[in-house]
Amino acid sequence: MRKKILLLAAMVVASSTTIDAQRKFPFFWKKKKAKMEQTTLAKKESEYDKLFKKKHETAKGLITLHLLDGKVYFELPVDLINKDMLIGSTVTSISDNGNAVVGSKPTDLLHVMFTRNKTHVQL
């Protein structure tokens, strides 16, 4: 019991000394204030944030699609640029077996690559 009381007293003394130290030495917390002001100045709104500030619909996948004011915006990750890709389709279900076979590819695969110059992305 005596050990618990001594431990509690030590914790109270230690906590009060840190508060007093902060009051006696205000230069410790001035640095934090300056850092906070720098981070708020650094957080300017980008063109991307300004564009998608309004409410819009988003479909995520390999390429993220955004529908905003009747326009469709494509969001392509930078690491997919200049990479070879194949686009293809497979029949998953049908109502008439005369049209196709489930699991078959009705068309050949399409080889594509996204390229970028300063202002445009091309397929």
Which residues are registered as beta bridge partners of 86? 111
Categorize the per-residue pLDDT at 105 as very low, low, confident or very high, splitting at 50, 70 and 90: confident
Could you tell me if residue 69 is inside a domain? Answer: no
The CA–CA distances, whole Å, from 47 to 52, 98, 102, 117 equal 9, 52, 45, 19
Question: What average pLDDT is seen over the chain?
Answer: 78
Could you tell me if residue 30 is inside a domain? Answer: no
CB under 8 Å to 103, separation ≥6 — which residues?
90, 91
3-class secondary-structure state, position 6 = helix
Surface-to-core class of residue 42, CB atoms within 10 Å of its CB (0-12 exposed, 13-18 middle, 19+ buried): exposed
pLDDT (tens digit, 9 = 90+) per residue, 11-66? Answer: 666 655 555 555 555 555 555 555 666 665 556 788 888 888 888 899 998 889 99
Mean predicted confidence (pLDDT) in 97-117: 87
pLDDT confidence of residue 51: 85
Question: Domain of 99?
Answer: 76-123
pLDDT confidence of residue 83: 93
The verdict on pTM exceeding 0.85 is no
Closest CA to 113 of 105, 121, 104: 121
Residue 58 per-residue DSSP state: E
Could you tell me if residue 123 is inside a domain? Answer: yes
d(CA 73, CA 56): 11
Q: How many domains does the chain have?
A: 1
Residue 118, pLDDT > 70, answer yes
pLDDT confidence of residue 84: 93
Could you tell me if residue 106 is inside a domain? Answer: yes
